[in-house]
Structure 1
Amino acid sequence: MTPPDAPHNRWSDLDRPPLNAAALRRGLLKPGGLWTSLDIVESTGSTNSDLAARAAGSAGGTVLVGGTVLVAEEQTAGRGRLDRSWTAPPRSGLFLSVYLTPGDVPAERWGWLPLLAGVAAATGLAQSAGVDMALKWPNDLLVTVDGTERKTGGILAERAGDGVVIGMGINVSLRAAELPAPHAGSLGLAGAVSTDRETLLRAVLRSLEEWYGRWREADGDAAASGLRTAYAAGCATLDRTVRAELPGDRSVVGEAVAIDGDGRLVLATGGGLQEPVSAGDIVHLRGAGGGLT
């Protein structure tokens, strides 16, 4: 018999109960809705890798359809941007991926999907957790802990099959001693009124369904759907001096002045020049929150 305090016992941490798949399906899988299936696994390497393999047909089983949701209680090889690892204690956060197939939207507009996911997650979490959320371009979720901006979540989007896999990792109940890095935070440390993961997950997925629907109805036009305005309004990177660490070991320092029509961050650099950044790592040097983030 497994001792009740064994490390992987489902009830070893009563502050972190397991998710109820049946209850989540009842609340989220509706006729005519975006979400078509929702599965929860106890542990996996990466939910993004799992869905991407299924989309490519390399995992066997049934064909992956749009609206699939995969949630893990624990990820052992979670991935962030630039192949960075993402790890957290079991049931301490939301670790999920969704598969979307926006086939009727021009492919050149699909680059807005990770930014859309950021807006949706920030909106859903602000409403359900009662915590002020901000976005760091392109796809980090920020909270304020003891007056300092901290990363509490990240988003990774990957083309797979006929669609896009969008993964989210969100720190919910991580305690200070469990944080993986000094710049990390969690909803709990930011004073969330609720860290109930089922409540938070429902809010995030409903918000994602709403924003994705608006975007598709506008044929992927970020301006017409209101997505570009919403992203800019919640983006903590704008109006700050930043350093963009770009591919090829190049870096640019400038003021982040806009998000352009393609979702790129526009930097005003020396001599009145403006440079759009489509990929890279952004470091906040100074501005609204102060300090380096």
Structure 2
Amino acid sequence: MIIDTHLHLIDLSALHYPWLGGAPALNRDFSHTEYATQARRAGIEAALHMEVDVDQADIQAETSHVKAQSLEQGSLLRGAIASCRPEEAGFAAYLERQQADPFVKGFRRVLHVMPDELSESALFRENIKRLAGTGLTFDLVVLPHQIPRAIALVDLAPDVQFVLDHCGVPDIKGNAEHPWREHMAEIARRPNVIGKISGVVAYADSGSWTVESLRPYVEHTIGFFGWDRVVWGSDWPVCTLGGGLATWVAATHALIGGASADERTKLLSGNAKRMWKL
């Protein structure tokens, strides 16, 4: 069984996505129906929706839209990692509303395309601390040079469960392992951070990557976080930029082929079940 902890759905008729204007390959509808057909063929039995950086006015609408789809017969959706704005004063009230909805499993604020100092404001940090004791996670999507800033945030909120997306977004295409490698080892020392094995095919050379070109990055992440602190995600449809869902699932199986059955289960479903109570 595979639980996909990083699925994006795009519905241009229902929501607004300002960033898609600069991403023509992704600037179309990517529906649950399209995803589910591919996912079931690949052995994926459940998924968490990851926010897609919609227009701020559509944040609540995105969660509601995805939740409605989760209620349809045969849906793979089991919860949502919702968008949020911790840098704003209204976060506390927003958090209280989301806590009332068991479909919401956590939050993410896109940081890798934002100014580095966004996560350093006092209000941002105080609001992240509010997640302590809620059971809600916070996904970190940061570039390698931003990982020290993520570490600072993690250290200020030791009772919050963080998830580091996409193996820390390494530049695989550029074969750049430093300082990514050192920063990953350091953030993995924090017990309140989970590593997500996701997205890496989008950072590799789309025409020439192989399992072996991905291996140093995936194995380094798992090696430092350990099998009890890693989860798997497709990053669909972004993974279509690097070969597609079935290709990434096949590469994952090849990458962890030497692991024990128990270790593979932890990565592919067990840790996600435990952390998000799926």
- TM-score, with structure 2 as normaliser: 0.30
Greater fraction of residues in helix: 2
Structure with the largest fraction of strand: 1
RCO greater where, 1 or 2, for CA within 8 Å and sep 6 or more? 2
